[in-house]
Amino acid sequence: MKPKVYLALGISGAPEHIEGMKESAIIIAINTDENAPIFDVAHYGMVGDLFDVCEELLEAIT
Ligand SMILES: Cc1cc2nc3c(=O)[nH]c(=O)nc-3n(C[C@H](O)[C@H](O)[C@H](O)COP(=O)(O)OP(=O)(O)OC[C@H]3O[C@@H](n4cnc5c(N)ncnc54)[C@H](O)[C@@H]3O)c2cc1C
């Protein structure tokens, strides 16, 4: 079963990992490394520290 939304928080995008999740409907990636391979398959991506971004996201939705 394919995930509707896949949050790749601090995930580099190793080939073995990408093979298992690349068919997800929507892939959202946050990584401090702008060259992380996960961005090659992500539909939405942000270069940044996941702890900062997630804190802001949490504040926005609560
Ligand atoms: C033989 C073999 C088979 C494997 N098979 C599978 C498999 O079937 N499925 C699978 O999922 N994995 C598999 N793996 C493991 C896979 O290769 C990866 O090691 C695994 O997916 C973990 O990768 P990671 O991105 O979590 O960690 P890492 O490769 O350590 O990457 C961490 C990433 O997080 C980023 N980062 C760090 N801190 C922050 C922060 N504060 N904010 C934002 N970004 C940050 C870094 O820039 C980096 O890109 C296999 C490995 C081997 C050797």
How far, in Å, is the centroid of ligand 1 from the Cα of 38?
10
How far, in Å, is the centroid of ligand 1 from the Cα of 12?
5
What are the tens digits of pLDDT across the range 7-22? 999 999 999 999 999 9
Put simply, whether the predicted model's pTM sits higher than 0.85 gets the answer yes
What are the tens digits of pLDDT across the range 37-62? 999 999 999 999 999 999 998 999 99
Residue 1, pLDDT above cutoff 90? no
Beta bridge partners of 62: none
Nearest Cα residue to atom 43 of ligand 1: 31
Q: How high is the pLDDT of residue 22?
A: 96
Sign of CA dihedral 36, 10, 53, 4: positive
Nearest Cα residue to atom 40 of ligand 1: 49
What is the Cα–Cα distance from 13 to 17, expressed in whole angstroms? 6
Nearest Cα residue to atom 21 of ligand 1: 17
CB 5 within 8 A of CB 23: no
Helices (H), the chain: 15-21, 50-61
Domain locations in the chain?
1-39
